[in-house]
Amino acid sequence: MSKARELAQKPNQPTGRKNLIINGAMNVAQRGTQTGHASGYTLDRWNVYTSSAARFTVSQDSHVPSGQGFANSIKLDVTTADTSLDAADFGVFRTLFEGQDLQHICKGTSNAKKLTLQFWIKSTVTGTYALELYDSDNVRQVTKNYTVNSADTWEKKIITFPADTTGIFSNDNAVSLYVQFGIIAGSNFTSGVASGSWASRTEANRYVGQVNAANSTSNNIYFTGVQLEVGSVATEFEHRSFGEELALCQRYYHQQERTSSPVEGVYIGIGQVNQTTQALAIYTLPVSMRTIPTLAHGTVGAGATSNYTGTLSAFYADNLHFSFYFVSSGMVVGDVIRIYNSGPGEKVTFDAEL
């Protein structure tokens, strides 16, 4: 069979990277385990959000479906249950996309493409779950339901979403699309009809049928192997190298954390003392970030003729470079100093998340 004929018989066959999801195999976890979690990023590019009383410990786990090529999953362990949901309660596991990465979907045009999502899930709670694509540029959404059939059993799900000829995604680095896996939903989000078609957002239609997966502290939910691709066919999961996946994640978040053995993530900049109370240092980020990142840090020190403990504050930053002041006292003007995380667990973070 000729190559051209072979490709013609596989209309959904990709010619480049096909998986729009970053870290779909849950291999990158720069932040580590999150405890008492209600809202924010957990494993890289994955966000758990709830407006209810439910709380989770979210961690990278080695429990995976057998024989599928995955080494990691994300585990959502319910640590504070919510057994009586208020009407406005809402909880999702989600990932977000820049509009400029979605232009080939042709959304809002006559050539709009279908999207197919596949994933593995293992949950203590059986029943109906809601999965939503939300277009924040045009306030449109589509919801599809799927069923967890057996408790505490890995199950693979494949869901195809229709094309949407209304509403073009903005061609920029801001968020345009949310992929949201329902965890809990109050009546404000479940009292309508899940049509399975794109429409202007109606809150009551968004999570129709969603079970309360956080109604007991005995509950766990695992996800891995998440792949979103153009077309109506779910193709084999695209496994990427750890290095490539890490670089994709570092566009949004990067941290230097000091470990104890071996000692890593110690040095975060080299600079020069320009006043007795401050030094100016520079740090080059590993990749160009989505936007100028926000700096945060724990205990930092500097070493030259003496060792100092101080604080960092931004002086100049772009998407790839970060200049900052190290502020302390009694420093010697002209000294070249190394700035470092002072002890195990201390870290400096650069955040450019959506």
Domain chopping of the chain, boundaries: 3-250, 254-351
Per-residue pLDDT tens, the chain, 354 aa: give them: 444 333 333 444 444 689 999 999 999 999 999 999 999 999 999 999 999 999 999 999 999 999 999 999 999 999 999 999 999 999 999 999 999 999 999 999 999 999 999 999 999 999 999 999 999 999 999 999 999 999 999 999 999 999 999 999 999 999 999 999 999 999 999 999 988 999 999 999 999 999 999 999 999 999 999 999 999 999 999 999 999 999 999 999 999 999 887 776 788 889 999 999 999 999 999 999 999 999 999 999 998 878 899 999 988 999 999 999 999 999 999 999 999 999 899 999 999 999
pLDDT for res 17 = 82
Buried b (16+ CB within 10 A) or exposed e, 259-284: eeeeeebbebbebebeeeebbbbebe
CA atoms within 13 A on the CB side of 95: 20
Instruction: Please check whether residue 148 is in contact with residue 125, taking contact to mean a CB–CB distance below 8 angstroms.
Output: yes
254-351 topology per CATH = Immunoglobulin-like (2.60.40)
pLDDT for res 16 = 61
Identify the helix (H) or strand (E) that includes residue 242: helix 242-250
Report CA dihedral (131, 135, 136, 139) to the nearest 10 degrees: -100
Question: DSSP secondary structure string, 94-153?
Answer: EEEEEGGG-GGG-TTSTT---EEEEEEEEESS-EEEEEEEEETTTTEEEEEEEEE-STT-
Tell how many helices (H) and how many strands (E) occur in the chain.
2, 22
Contacts (Cβ under 8 Å, ≥6 apart) of 190: 204, 207, 208, 209, 210
143: nearest Cα among 96, 188, 193: 193
3-250 topology per CATH = Jelly Rolls (2.60.120)
β-strand partners of 337: 271
Query: Among positive and negative, which fits the CA dihedral 172, 175, 176, 179?
Result: positive
Report CA dihedral (325, 328, 334, 340) to the nearest 10 degrees: -70
Q: Is 218 exposed, middle or buried (0-12, 13-18, 19+ CB in 10 A)?
A: exposed
Identify the helix (H) or strand (E) that includes residue 220: strand 220-230
* Integer Rg of the chain from CA: 23
pLDDT for res 306 = 83
Quote the longest CA-to-CA distance of the chain.
76
Q: What phi, psi does 86 have (nearest 5°)?
A: -75, 160
Q: Give the Cα separation of 286 and 353 in Å (integer).
A: 16
